[in-house]
Chain A
């Protein structure tokens, strides 16, 4: 028995070490290299890269796209989750499938779809031009692409929670004469607030980092249609490594914050 336990603890530490090594090399080392490289030439160079005019405009555009994505998808998530979990109707399964499409298609294909819809060869294009709206190679395109790739992120968190929760409480409230909004605010919302917050965090993470779809629709106009990830790509391809890593460090900081927030929300929600 004793010998066996020893062998078991050997296996245990071997497996732990393999996991730690794998995650260390694959996850921590890339993070470390970003931080290390961005401060390699001192804080002054770092600050200069981060406060560069193009960086600032990229940050602002990224924030704009991310905030829009969060707002749109929260509205959609709440309505879709309510509709899918509180009622029985035909075509529910189809709606659920359609909601999940944005995460199953490659971002590059998503970009292509919007290119075909709003681009020059589209039937819509003359009308858009008449109204002086440009989507492709402009800010609206970037925002639409960001909303698309994060579309199901919030509804996907809400639906399972509401599904396990059932409809009894809402029915009781409705029979006692409560209005729709009151039911939502007093009965449903307390159950989903953590899931909602969780969804918002995930949505933020994905929105700020979207690359493929945004890259197709952006046209890479510096200072105009460059988001942070696109700005990083340009810097890197111009061999401006220190600025590229410095700008990346903003996103790394955001990513770490998101991970911490995620764990906190999970811990609180579990309680």
Chain B
């Protein structure tokens, strides 16, 4: 014990640990405990009843399918944007780079409202698509659009640093040996980017599953059609049905922890690549 104490030359361990734990306790541990305590008071059959309700199941389905589609589109577009930002020089590049974080800076409610306004059948974008019979606002497409907005930065910012660190000599070698650009990309560059791409996809997917602010405007919130899981939690809370709200929240928590777990495993591999592997 004394030996351990001697090792700590830098002062302030006690106070910093104390403050950290106290604040963590009040802000995170106690609220989490409240959720767990409330859950333990529910009966299992109640939980199953809520979760297997038709409306809840379809909300989960809508949440997952739209979040997955949006993240997939973001994975492709994010890869292209990261590539453009790292490999090419063009006027306006710095602005494009700075713009990527807009979804983090712009309140989701504002984004949701603006996107809704644009994509209703009278809106600038919506009127164009409605000519082809495609309606965006108040459909699942609308939800996906809002989630694409929310998820843009994740893939770009995960792929960008890996692409920057990528050693160009393998590409050159392949080029000298006569490989086509496509072959070089898919055989040499893409495998290196894959972990970062998955990480970005996972982060975006996790974020999209829980997203509420931007979706609530554009979804129209029709049960069985455009009602997402966070919205069901919200409406149960407004009816003071805490048991149902908590049950749905628990399932969402489990899903997001699973995503987080998979992600951290991929990320551990990814870090090794970014920090240089010899």
Contact = CB atoms under 8 A, between A and B. Distances in A.
Interface in A108-134: 108-117, 119, 121-122
Contacts of A171: 9-10
Interface string B171-201: 0000000000100000000000000000000
Nearest to A169: B10
Contacts of A23: 81, 96, 99-100, 152
Q: Chain B contact residues (Cβ within 8 angstroms of A): what range?
A: 35 or more
A29 B34 contact: no
B233 A252 contact: no
Contact of B16 (A82, A98, A254): A82
A228 interface: yes
B65 interface: no
A104 B255 CA distance: 11
Interface string B205-237: 010011111001100000000000010011001
B10 A112 contact: no
B77, B105, B256, most chain A CB atoms within 10 A: B105
Given A105-B256, A117-B34, A174 B20 contact: no
Interface stretch (B44-52, B54-62, B111-119, B159-167): B111-119
Nearest to B118: A33
Contacts of B217: 233, 236
Contacts, number: 269
Contacts of A259: 98-99, 101-102, 105
B105 to A, nearest CB: 4
Contacts of B246: 112, 116
Contacts of B253: 105, 109
A212 B34 contact: no
Nearest to A248: B110
Interface residues of A, number: 98
B88 A12 contact: yes
B12 interface: yes
A147 B27 contact: yes
B276 interface: no
Given A8-B181, A23-B99, A87-B13, A229 B107 contact: yes
B24 A98 contact: yes
B257 interface: yes
Interface in B10-41: 10-13, 15-17, 19-21, 23-24, 27-32, 34-35, 38
Secondary structure call for the A interface: helix
B252 interface: yes
B98 A109 contact: no
B149 A27 contact: yes
B114 A116 contact: no
Given A106-B252, A147-B27, A212-B230, A255 B106 contact: yes
Contacts of B206: 104
B13 A83 contact: yes
Contacts of B256: 104-106
Contacts of A256: 105
Interface string A153-185: 000000000000001001100110001100110
A113 B38 CA distance: 10
Interface in B246-261: 246, 249, 252-253, 256-257, 260
Contacts of A232: 109-110, 113
B118 A167 contact: no
Contacts of A16: 84, 88, 90
Given A76-B20, A88-B7, A215-B234, 5 more contacts: A75-B19, A102-B28, A108-B234, A116-B35, A260-B98
21 contacts: A15-B83, A15-B84, A27-B149, A30-B110, A83-B17, A105-B253, A113-B32, A175-B9, A180-B10, A183-B11, A209-B105, A209-B108, A211-B107, A215-B234, A228-B107, A232-B110, A251-B107, A252-B110, A258-B105, A259-B98, A263-B98
Interface of B: 7-13, 15-17, 19-21, 23-24, 27-32, 34-35, 38, 77, 80-81, 83-85, 88, 90, 92, 94, 96-111, 113-115, 117-118, 124-125, 148-149, 152, 181, 206, 209-213, 216-217, 230, 233-234, 237, 242, 245-246, 249, 252-253, 256-257, 260
Interface of A: 7-8, 11-12, 15-16, 18-20, 22-23, 25-31, 33-34, 37, 72, 75-76, 79-80, 82-84, 86-89, 95, 98-99, 101-102, 104-117, 119, 121-122, 144, 147-148, 151, 167, 170-171, 174-175, 179-180, 183-184, 202, 205-206, 208-212, 215-216, 228-230, 232-233, 236, 241, 244-245, 248, 251-252, 254-256, 258-260, 262-263
